[in-house]
Structure 1
Amino acid sequence: MQHRPTVTAADIARLTGVGRAAVSNWRKRYDSFPVPVGGTAASPQFDLEEIERWLAEHGKLPAVADEDRLWRNLLAAAGDPAAALAAAGEHLCGDRPLPFEALREELTGLSAKHGVRNAFEALWRRFADLPGKRTVTTPEALSELITRLARVRGGTVLDPACGTGRLLRAAAAAGATTVYGQDNDPAATRLAQLLVEINELPGEVRLGDSLRQDAFAGLEADAVVANPPFGLTNWGHGELGYDRRWEFGVPPRTEPELAWVQHALAHLKPGGRAVVLMPPAAASRRAGRRIRAELLRRGTMVAIIALPPGAAAPHAIGLHLWVLQRTTQPTATVRLVDASTEPLDQAYQRIVASVDGDGGLGSTTSVIDLLDEEVDLTPSRHVAAAESSLDTVAALRQNRDRLEGLLASLPPLLPAVDPTAAPQSTPAVAISDLVRSGQLELLGPVRAGGLPEPDQPVLTSDDVIAGRPGTGRAGEMFTPRIVVRTGDVVVPTTAPALSARVIVDGGELLGRSLILLRGDPEALDPWFLAGHLRTAANERQAVSLSGVQRFDVRRAQVPWVPLDEQQRQGTAFRQVQLLEDAIRSAARLSEELARQLAAGLIAGLVTVRNGHAQRDTSD
């Protein structure tokens, strides 16, 4: 018997592009909101069809996407998310018909419309976004970083702890020609194998414990990528004491991560790279210092990268990436990169630049300097010391010159403030009325879903607030797909204060928690619109306090004046925006310069005289 599909409050929030607090408000404010049909008091479940009907009646959601409806029906029929996805994948591959006959036509229609690969990808993303799966899978952005650092393009890739295959999927997208994976979870292995089959990739995925039962013994890959389990005590220490993979030393029982590192190296071709996600303690624990020392002496260590907290589970700590190589020509240096304090959405590009060049986050450290009694490879311990270099002095001078130029640009931007005649009362019009009259188009918010997007930057709420171009991750999927244009006004729905920004250079995708206002250029000036939206009166008018501060821009009002008057005011608002952007840039650069100055003074590299930093040339 097939059960009716259900959704949680979090699912409803995702479908509608709002926060969970808004869903809670709907339940309290509307007696007609559907009652739970299951779940618990803390996490109730609602009938999907009833929710969809209610949302449509109240103008909250035009329709549920085909992929969302199908995924919820599959969940209801199978009960287990992994089983639901596996059944759909086997049907799409032609291995076995979908056991839920009533859903076969719907699944076949989705694949006919978008292709087998994209249909499975859409369902796979919904599976991966389930709350229980986010803690046990490698996030997509981190998977892309790992495969990029491993240089997988054109080569054979092995993931010895592949789980559902996220790293293999990222490797395939990055140009790997053959992929191999192994995992001891039967359900996860089944999904990873389906991913390989549907993408028509050479290779295979096998079931088993890679350390105890290596399914690919003798395989030498061009790259090995891994997010192995941390902290296992029963990993096979007793039975693997004389394993030939331990060429750098037998891993102590308390160091299972060093067993995974050596397993990865054992499967590398000469010249190949391995990238392994590691707990930060593995870089400094006393029990592993001899193996770390041998890895350094043999020249296998390319880089150690400290990631910001939140990069992967456990999210509260900053994990490390170990980049290793199989080489016959040991290098005398190691690249240590400390990105632990970087914003997560900006860190990954800087990490790549810092490993392969000079991205400003790392330092090149001599192996001899690392081979002390502790062999502590924690990047923060060494990067701070490495800042005491001539490069730091050059960067300090460059930033000082940049700040001086920014400060010099501020006086011309400061407007002369003259009093005006007594202000006259001007009629106001609500944003909702402008939308109804057709003079303004309101787009968004978008939600996760749909089919894969091309490689395109995404505008986020933080970008709008900070006044910068889109820094969102390329490759995200959104429904609907909205490309921002020059002259659009973008407003975050959740922010410390009501913010509005005019898009100067378009082309980015609209991200989540944003509303886009696209006006008729014959009726509305965008700078006039953005300037008036940011007033304190509109902030009070649009705010909705429900655990977090949310804004409904449709409630905001703007003066109703002729277009020429709008343009006059818009020119003034644009001048104010330029001033604000310059001040914000100067503040960010001032903070960085102060940090560099302090580091240079402490290291004895510079002295400060008459407000100028001078290089200290004394011995």
Structure 2
Amino acid sequence: MSINVFVEDPRLVSVDSHNSPTNTAPSNAFDYSCAAESPLYQQLGLSCLDNDEVLALMELSPVERKHQGVFFTPAELSRLAVEKFSYSLGDGAILDPACGSGNLLVALAETFEISPSLEVTLSEWNSRLYGVDINESFVKIARKKLVKLALSKGAVPSGEKTPGEILSILSNVKVGDFLKEYKSYCGKIGGVIMNPPFCHIDASGEIAWTSGRFNAASLFVVYAAEILPASGRFLGILPDVLRSGTRYAQWRSRLLKTADCTMETFGSFEPGVQVDVFILQGKIKYAQEEVIVEQVAAKSSPITLLMEKFDVSVGPVVPHRDKVIGTEAPFAHAKILPAWETVDLLPERICHAGRKAQPPFVAIRRTSSPKDKYRIVGTVVNCSELVAVENHIIILAPKDRSLLSCQRILDFFRTEHVNNYINEKIRCRHLTVGVVKGIPIGGAADGN
């Protein structure tokens, strides 16, 4: 049976320490001072790679960068990922299917031995490292970083090859589109390590587990699992919505049929990037097991879940998009709902043709961060007429239609039990209907 394991690793769950600046160099940092004296070092401009990265990014417009999901993996996170991947020669060649400027490849190569000759070293590394990216400038920088690392570890160039010929030794780090070319890597690699793009793409008719626009990172994982051999391993740095979002439940189920997986929370990708990530590790099974862990757990669990006592839905009103038509009704949205209170009147009204909510109900804010004091913040709405509810609100309608059930569950949301449950299940900044439905409530709605 495949099991989702949430591992508590201090380096993964300590978001504050991850975001804090540090002046301490990593323990496996390399001394580039001797390598910098090499003519090849100067000819390739290896002392200016940070500037090259900035210039390569500046060549992309904001729209292109968002469309391509360009965020280079921080060095600290790259090394942590490689440490957890625990690469060995027996794993065969490793692929980064969205290598960018090569930070994960470099972190892997930091664990490799070298030969005295630079050319031999790069040739050996090239047989063990595959990288692909759609951006030619990033790929060139990735190759240069690997050359710089080999020089810093003591490999010496023969002087018989030009700088261009040196870079061309790393032929398996190349320009390409993994989502179109992934089948070409079947039989060539034994593992995958990646920080794929987090951008959204349109689902094709060949994708059965989702539709419409979805996060591209999920497809990178699916294709990586398809091309790996039995017992092949993969590691991905992924947006937390893939771990916890209702939209990706089928994706998770599909993955669990294919591989034994662990999912470890990490927190913010890096300072200034408001995306929480997790580290997914998987090992391809010898046989396909048709087991969906969440379904099995739900069937065998005697615990009362929130969805057994409340109907849970998202408010249908999108104010700046929906047409102003239909019946006028009180309008519930986050800015006017006082936290932890019961309201009988709402100061705003709206005309909306969509579904209305029947009071009493609990309105909880979808925006929620792991840093908040309470992961769920709500208000009991007890108006005398149907209420139009904004899209950033999740509606909990008690199945017994009682005000008391609403007030009891609202009190329950302020407990540490709820905070711990939500923080374990979801790290992104929006609550999902699926996570709220699955909150174990015991007898909270009954006053027990």
Q: Shared topology, TM-score over 0.5?
A: no
Q: Which has the higher helix share?
A: 1
Larger gyration radius, structure 1 or structure 2? 1
Greater relative contact order structure (CA < 8 Å, 6+ sep)? 2
Task: Give the TM-score band, short-chain normalised.
Answer: 0.3 to 0.5
TM-score (norm 2): 0.43
